[in-house]
Structure formats: structure tokens, C-alpha cells
Structure 1
Amino acid sequence: MLLSMGLMASLLERLPVSPAMFYLPVGYILGPAVSGLINVAPAQHAELLTTIAKMALLLSLFTVGLKLRMPFRDSIWRLPVRLGVLAMLVTIPLLALAGLFLFDLPLGAAILLGAILAPTDPVLASDVQIKDVSDRDRIRYSLTGEGGLNDGTAFPFVMLGLALLGVPSAAAYTNVYAILHVLWSIVAGLSGGWLLGWLLGRSVVGLRRRFGLALGMEEFLGIGLIALAYAATELIDGIGFLAVFAAGLAMRRIESTNSGQQSFRRPQPKSTVGKVLASDNAEVATHPVKASAYMTETVLDFNQQLENFAEFLMVILTGILLSHIGFSWSGALLGLLLFFVIRPLSVAIALTGANVTSLQRRLMAWFGIKGIGSVYYLMFALQYHWIAPVGYKASALAPRISSMVLTIVAMSIVMHGISSTPLMEMYQRRRRRQG
């Protein structure tokens, strides 16, 4: 599979398909529904699956932060904030209402289902996200920023759903101090991650410029910052996902402040044979203007490669899990409702008065891609013992929600994978015609 994707990558870019559309059926075939070569039960392996999904999600959130180069005073930032916060605050209640009245779920399970499905995916949405960090396209910038924000802001609602299902460790989200607890977790996550990202970035750039130290191993810096930002903010009850996203933003902010409009790509090789000489790399890495750019772009390049492997692993794993738990017709119905009614309505409300065209609004509404974030929160919730209210069986509730979520993720992989290339090409043609 890896060899096939390596050979077909350039061809896939021109076709209305995504790599995830190949990974998903492979995972399904490997699972118990077809070959039975791999059998991973979601509930029995929830802790391990949560860790794997968390690693993939953290890597992607940091990468998203590194892509967003526009200063915060730029008005374009209003769009991802609207989508990542306001649209999600509309999506969760609407999904919860659908769970309550259409699918006869208890309140806690309905809220949990809505919170699991509300985040858009920062991994599978790469086809509609920023390709060049200087890109100011409203659709790409908005969807990229949304994917970085809402995976973290969905966390309090997941905990609220778990609290209503009788999970003791989530009880703080239902008491009188719940709002203060949520506000602290958001502020601590964003500010803690930003501070750590800024401190590390400034320290490395300073050491390189002044003393020629801390050269190389940029990949280690990136992964180390992800781990530090997540762990440190979780220790003070902050949301670690927001911290990692903010750390990526901080590192990119240092670069954009230092290099301005200068070219921030590393130099091209002087020869078609071999790599850039180590002395050339060291010269750029210690340059007064280009040092932070070199560090940031090297980290971004490496993280994007890791992100490809994360997508490969997680989508195959999603196919295996779906093969184990089975397709859900209720999930299919909810997926259609989400993609064609709830998501467009939430985006329309969130973008009321925004400076976007009707085409941009419709495309933002359509590309509410579901993926690794939803798989993570599902596995996270399955680690706990749920207590169902009278009239419901807890033993049946978790498998039902699992099947619905995995079905919707699979639908998103197929539907958005087929449509992303032709729709974005159509959009780019219209942009060129309009000047």
C-alpha cells in the first residue's frame, strides 16, 4: 500500500479521489467483516486507540498552526474563529436534538454524539487547506484555522456528555463552577501553548544567531515542543489540543515577524547531484533574517511528511474498526442530515455579515470534513464506564454511538474525497476569471 501510494501520488492529485479513499477499504478488508486478519474492538482497546489517535491529532494541530502566517490583526482571522467557535456552538445542539428526537438517545449520549461529530478534521482536510503559507484565500484559510480550533473547543462538550452519563471524572463540567472551569481550560491552553512556542522559538533563533549553537535536529524541536506544550498545559487543567495549535502559531509568528516579506524557503541545491552543503545550511540557519524562517519551514516540512503517515495509519484503522462494529443506517441518516442541513445552517449563522461570497460560503459549508478528531473523541469516551438512564441499556449505547460515528467518518472520507478536487478546481477557475 505504501509503495502504491508513493507511485500514484502525482496521479491522485489530478483525479477526484483522495488517498484516504484507498486506505479506508483496505482497512475494512483487513477487518473481521472480510478477511479477519486484524480484529480490533473499539471498547476493549479504547485506551491504546485513544493514544494513537491523540498522537496523530497533535501532530496535525501543530502543523496547522505552522501554516497560518497572517498577523492576528488581519481581518481574515475572523473567519476561522467564527467557524471554529460559533459554527461548532450551533452544530453540537442541533446534533444533540437529532440524537434525542430522531434516534431516541438519552440526553448525555446525544450531547456526547454531537460533540464527537462537531469538529472538522485537520488531517483529512489537507486538500482544501492552505498549500502555501502566504496564501490569503478565504476558503483555505478559514477551513485550516477551523480545523485547528474546534478539536480543542469541542473538549468541554465531550466532558459534559460524559458527566451526564455518570462518569465521575467529568463531574466538574456540570457543577456551578463549570463555566469558569471551561474558560480557564481554554485560556490556559491557548496562552500556555503560545508562551512555550514563543520561548522555544526565540531561544533557538537567539542561540543560532549569536553563538552558532542549537543547529540541526529541527525535527526534534518540533516533536519536543508538541509534547511539552500538551503535557504542561494539561498539568494546569488547560486544553492540550489548543496549546499545541497555539505553539505552532507562535513559532510561525516569530518567523513572520523576523522575515517579513523575505523568501522563507530554504535555498535550492547548487548542484543537481547531492544535497545542499552542510555549510550552506548552517549559513542560512544562523542568518540574522532567515534563521527563524529556516527553522520553521524545516519543522513544517518534516511534520507534513509525518502527517501523511498519520493519515495512512488512522484511516486504515478506521476501516478496521468499522469492519468490526458494522455499518449503521442510523449513522448514515444522521450523516446526510449533518452534511446537507446542520453544517450548512451552522456555517450560515456563523458567517452572518462576514465578507465572503455566496460561493465561498457554500464551499465552507460543504467542507465540514469529519475524521481523526471524531475517532479520537469516540475512543476517549469509550475508555469510561457509562451509566445509562432508566429505559436505556448502557451495554447497547456505546456500540450504537460507535457505529454511527464510524459510519459518518467513512461517509465523509468518500463524499468529500470525491468532491474536493473538482470543487476546488472550479473555485480557482472562477477566482482567476474574476481577477
Structure 2
Amino acid sequence: MEIGTWALLGGLILIAMMLISTLVARLPLSGAMIYLGLGVLLGPYGFDVIELDPVAQASSLELVAEAALLISLFSVGLKLEVPLLDRRWIAPYRLAFLSMAVTVGGIAAIAVYGLGMPLGVAILFGAILAPTDPVLASAIQSRPGDGHDPLRFSLAGEGALNDGTAFPLVLLGLGMMQLYDLGDWGAWWWVADVAWSTVGGVLIGTLVGALLGKLVIHLRTRHHSAIGMDEFLSLGVIAVSFGAAQTCMASGFMSVFFAGLALRRARNFPLAGTIPLSHVPGAHERVAVDPATHSHHASGVMTQAVRAFNEQLERFAELGMVMMVGVMLPSIGSSANLWWFLPVVFVVVRPASVVLGMIGADSPPYQQILVGWLGIRGIGSIYYLMFALNHGVAAEFAPDLVSLTLATVAASILFHGITVQSLMSWYERHAAK
């Protein structure tokens, strides 16, 4: 198609989504389900306007998925208000490390004994499917003000953390396939890819977010400079934290998420003799007072502006990625294993991993059941699939990895999208009692 036709089609899609957004919110549907349908409609199953080959175009699709994932991780970090040393982080850490490991092991066992995959391919496959992605389920995102809700916080924190904790297991699978150097007896993998990658990503991201946040607040409140252009700040923090981590061989995903957390927690340094604007009579009528430069309000204005811009980016990323999944659905072969594999992953492996990961935790059984079901798969799984394809996975295994991954993500978007509103409504009524 010509550029004018592409522009017309894209504009109609965006306007249509805006017009029906209120209707969609009233129905048992999610935005991701609509985007998936649009992808199917525009792909080979529909009007055949767009065609994507996940194997031949793995390099390009990997970059697109990586960018979308970074935007999502930073957005989740900006929304979480719980202090970093708060005990409520125990649940997300359990889910992202312990439950993640159990999920990878469970899927790998199924892949070996049920799908006939070699052990290395099975571990890689488990690591591809293990990360959860609450960004695609807007009804369970941890929104500003929901920081004290244990279910929303656990799901959001897990989804952000396990995109980083899955990466060493992806490398482990590739290493067992002789596509990555694990070092003698796996020493390099343990030291660099597991320990330093995780710890280094956390430290670098926290440092970047905290320093840049303090710098901007200082310049705005003391020198009345660096005002506005919060879009540049948002993209800059993402790029700097990711680039610094990658340069230091640490986890870029962990770094971006913790940069968002640190930027969110940047605090004001009130000047002596000043009071908040809310305590000044008629302050809202004084045009000369700019909250962005007021020493009591600068951090709130900054984080609100960055979060608002990043949420807009996140919507575009979600639209693009899920439509890509819909377009690529014809790549799913006639796998005879889908009918039993999908229910086992959603109904057995995921709930069992949550229960095992939360042993001894102070978490009610009904919350564990909801967390076990609402582990939606999405951008993270697509990224790791493309990463694996782009790093030399043998042609004999690529079709099965593509088919099973795309089918799992599509089924997750549909089934979780249909049930999430009713389940969260029940949860909120139950929690209110």
C-alpha cells in the first residue's frame, strides 16, 4: 500500500478505538482483545494487508518488542508507590523468583515428556512462557492510589520483575543448545548472568532514577530551570538506565523498572520559610506561582507529567504489539498438542507455581487463586521468542516454539481478558467486606 493508504488506515484505527473506548469498558472485554482482533483482521486471516514472518523478521520484531517492554517496565515502576524496603515487596519477589523458577521447570518438564523437546530447548521454552505481563490487563494494573492493594501490587510487581529474572533462564536454555557460552561448569552464567545481571540492574536503575530525579527537582526549585519537556526526561531516563546497564553487562530490564521506582520516589527539598500552596489563601489564583518550581510540589508535578506521558506511550506499545500477535497468528501450525498444553499451563502449572512460591507467606488462599489465574502472558514472551529465534535456534525447533508461544499469548489475552473484570469486581467487593 502507498503511504497515504497506510496513514488513512492507521488514523481510522486510532479514532475508532477512541470512540468505542467507553463501550469496551462496559463489556467483559479488554483493549488487548480488540487489538488482537484488529491484527487478525488486517493479517492473512483477514484482508491480508499486513504479513509478518516471526522467523524471517525476528531481528526487527525483537527490537520492537524490546522497546515496548522497556516502556511497559518504566510505566509500572512509576505507578508503584510502596517504599523499596517495605515488606509488601516480599510477595512480588517470591513470585518473580521462586514461582518463576517453578514455572520454567514445570513447562520444561511438560516440553520434554509431553512434546518431545530436548532439555535445552525445553528450558528455553519454559523461560519464554514464564514471564507474566499485567500491562496487558488494564483492570489489574497497580494504579496510583492502589499501592496498598496486595493483589494489584503483587501482580504488577511480579510482571515487572520477572521480565528481568527470566533472562538468565533464556540464556541457560541457549547455552545448553550450544548457542551461548555458559563458562566452565556454568560459572560465567552464575556470576555474570544470574548474580551480577540482577544486582547490577537494580543498583544502576535505582542510581540513575534517583540522581536524575534529584537533579531535575534541584534545578527547578533552586534555579527555576529545566522546566517542562518531561517527555524528554521520560525517554531519557529509560535510555540512560537501559544503556548504562547493558554497557555494564547488567539487566537492562531490571534497570529500567527500578529507575521508574526511584524516579517515582524522588522527594522535594522544601526551602526554609515556605509552605505548600494548599496552605496559602488564594494561591490557586496567583498565576506567578508555578507548582513545577515550588519546593513543596516540584517532585509531584514532575512524576505526574512523566507518568502521564509514559502511559500514552504504553497504550501505543500495547496496540502495536498485540496487533502484531494477531497478524502473526497464521504462523501457528496445526499443532495437535495445543488442546491439552494450554489448559495445563494456565490451570495447573501457573497456579501450582504461585502456591509453591508463596508457601509460608501471609497471603489468603483466595488471593493466591486469583494471582494464579491472572498471570497473563504478553510482550515479555514475544520478546524472548524473537530473541531466541534471532540467536540461532535450529530450524527444526523454531516452528514449535513459534506456534506454542503465539497460541499461549493469544489464548491468555482472550481468556484473561474475558474473566478479569468480573474477578476483580468480586475481589474488590470481598476486600471491602
TM-score for the superposition, normalised by structure 1: 0.90
Match of 1:341 among 326, 345, 348: 348
Measured after TM superposition, the shift of residue 351 of structure 1 is 1.2
Given residue 54 of structure 1, which amino acid in structure 2 is its aligned partner?
E
| 2:107 matches 1:95 | yes
Tell me if the contact between 2:268 and 2:296 (Cα under 8 Å) persists in the aligned partners. no
| CA–CA distance in structure 1, aligned partners of residues 244 and 327 of structure 2 | 33
Q: Please give the per-residue CA displacement for 1:7-43, whole angstroms capped at 9, x wherever unaligned.
A: 1212222221101111112212322234322111111
Alignment of 1:11-410 (within 5 A): 11-168=23-180, 170-172=181-183, 175-181=186-192, 182-255=194-267, 283-326=290-333, 328-386=335-393, 394-410=394-410
Check conservation: 2:245, 2:252, Cα contact below 8 A.
yes
Q: Spell out the pairing of 1:410-421 with structure 2 (5 A cutoff).
A: 410-421=410-421
1:10 aligns with 2:33: no
The match for 2:425 is 425
Task: For 1:94 and 1:198, locate their aligned partners in 2 and report how far apart those are by CA, in whole Å.
Answer: 38
Q: Unpaired segments of 5 or more residues in structure 1?
A: 259-263, 271-275, 387-393
Aligned residue pair count: 411
Partner of 2:9: none
Partners in 2 of 1:101 and 1:312 — Cα distance? 36
Structure 1 CA distance for aligned equivalents of residues 285 and 386 of structure 2: 46
- Measure how far apart 1:255 and its partner are: 4.0
Amino acid at match of 1:208: R
CA gap of 1:343–1:257, structure 2 versus 1, over 3 A, is farther
Change (3 A) 1:256 1:204: closer
Tell me how far 1:312 sits from its aligned partner.
0.6
**How far apart are the structure 2 equivalents of 1:256 and 1:410?**
44
Query: Alpha-carbon deviation of 1:171?
Result: 3.7
Distance 1:16 1:328 in 2: 29
1:21 partner amino acid: M
Contact 1:332/1:408 (CA < 8 Å) preserved in 2?
Answer: no
Query: Where do 5+ consecutive residues of structure 2 fail to align?
Result: 1-12, 271-275
2:377–2:412: 8 Å Cα contact kept in structure 1? yes
Distance 1:252 1:84, change over 3 A: same
CA contact (8 A) 1:229 1:243 kept: yes
Q: CA deviation at 1:164?
A: 1.6
Change in Cα spacing, 1:283 to 1:35, as seen in structure 2 (3 Å) is: same
Which residue type is aligned with residue 90 of structure 2?
R
Give yes or no for contact 1:120–1:150 (8 Å, CA) kept in 2: yes
Residues 325 and 293 (structure 1), Cα distance of their counterparts in 2 relative to 1, 3 Å cut: same
CA distance in 2, matches of 1:352, 1:257: 42
In structure 2, C-alpha distance between the alignment counterparts of 1:278 and 1:230, rounded to whole Å: 41
CA distance in 1, matches of 2:351, 2:267: 36
Alpha carbons 1:17, 1:418 under 8 Å: kept: yes
Shift of 1:153: 0.6
CA contact (8 A) 1:189 1:239 kept: yes
User: How far apart, in 2, do the equivalents of 1:172 and 1:64 lie?
Assistant: 34
Residue 257 of structure 2 aligns to a residue whose secondary structure is helix
- Which residue of the partner structure matches residue 391 of structure 1? none
Q: CA deviation at 1:54?
A: 0.6
Assess if the C-alpha contact under 8 Å between 1:225 and 1:247 holds in 2. yes
C-alpha deviation, 1:301, in angstroms: 0.9
Seen in structure 2, the aligned counterparts of structure 1 residues 224 and 424 have a Cα distance that, compared at 3 Å, is same
Aligned partners of 1:129 and 1:144 also within 8 Å: yes
TM-score, with structure 2 as normaliser: 0.90
SS at match of 2:417: helix
Q: Say which SS state the counterpart of residue 359 (structure 1) adopts.
A: helix
CA contact (8 A) 1:96 1:110 kept: yes
CA distance in 2, matches of 1:200, 1:20: 33
Q: Return closer, same or farther for 1:325/1:36 CA change in 2, 3 Å cut-off.
A: farther
CA contact (8 A) 1:61 1:122 kept: no
1:333 maps to a residue whose letter is: W
Deviation of 1:253 (Å): 1.7
Point out the more displaced range, 77-86 or 225-234. 77-86
Q: Which residue of 1 aligns with 2:5?
A: none
Percent identity, aligned pairs only, is 44
* Greater Cα offset, 75-84 or 216-225: 75-84
Q: Deviations over 1:189-228 (max 9, x none)?
A: 1101110111100000000110001000111101111011
Q: Separation in 1 of the partners of 2:268 and 2:361?
A: 26
Q: CA deviation at 1:277?
A: 10
Which SS does the other structure have where 1:176 is aligned? helix
Deviates more, 1:351-360 or 1:58-67: 351-360
In the aligned structure 1, how far is the partner of 2:34 from the partner of 2:286? 39
Q: CA deviation at 1:332?
A: 4.5
Give the superposed CA RMSD: 2.3
Native 8 Å contact 1:109 1:161 kept in 2? yes
Question: Does the Cα contact within 8 Å between 2:204 and 2:255 map onto a contact in 1?
Answer: yes
